[in-house]
Amino acid sequence: MDLKKMAEILKPIGNLAVVAGIVLVVLELNQNSKLVEAQLESDEFASWLAVDASKQSETFGEVLAKSIERPEELTLGEMVELDGYLYTYLDLLWRRETLHTLGIGSDLEVQARTSMTYYFGNRFAQAWWAESKFRFEDEFVTTIDRLMPEVSADQDIEFFGRIRTRLSAGD
């Protein structure tokens, strides 16, 4: 068999092998993208859990309760603790927006609307936002400011008050 005939036979096989290689690379890239997306979402979930876990310590629970019941009595040290807590929450929202920009998950407004009531339902948190918004980019501030009126500054005290009423009534 001469080389010309052999080249004619091997050329389609080689082309098919190249196409198969490209398909394999595309499939692996797709799989890797899904794994990265899953890891990012898992990391985000772990971050939310860490913020919520910070409320579980007895000392911070007392600081948070004071911010709800008697915010005017907070010490500077307690305000610094709350500053870190609220800033971490907003940083998580910012990360959510960054992931959304990359095509992963819901946008900032959806995430903020579903979570702001847990963090800004008291007078301290709302006063903190009014004084801290300069730390964030304008578009982020605009979104939070647009949603803030949906959150009552008395929401937390009313919520825990309703629980106390149920407990007193024996429910």
Which positions ≥6 away from 112 have C-beta within 8 Å?
93, 143, 144, 147
pLDDT at 80 over 90: yes
Residue 122 DSSP class: S
pLDDT at 70 over 60: yes
What is the percentage of the chain residues whose pLDDT exceeds 70?
84
Burial class (CB in 10 A: 0-12, 13-18, 19+), 111: buried
Whether the predicted pLDDT of 133 surpasses 70: yes
Flag the least confident range among 26-35, 57-66, 121-130: 26-35
Q: What is the pLDDT of residue 34?
A: 65
Residue 45 has pLDDT above 60, yes or no: no
User: pTM score, two decimals?
Assistant: 0.68
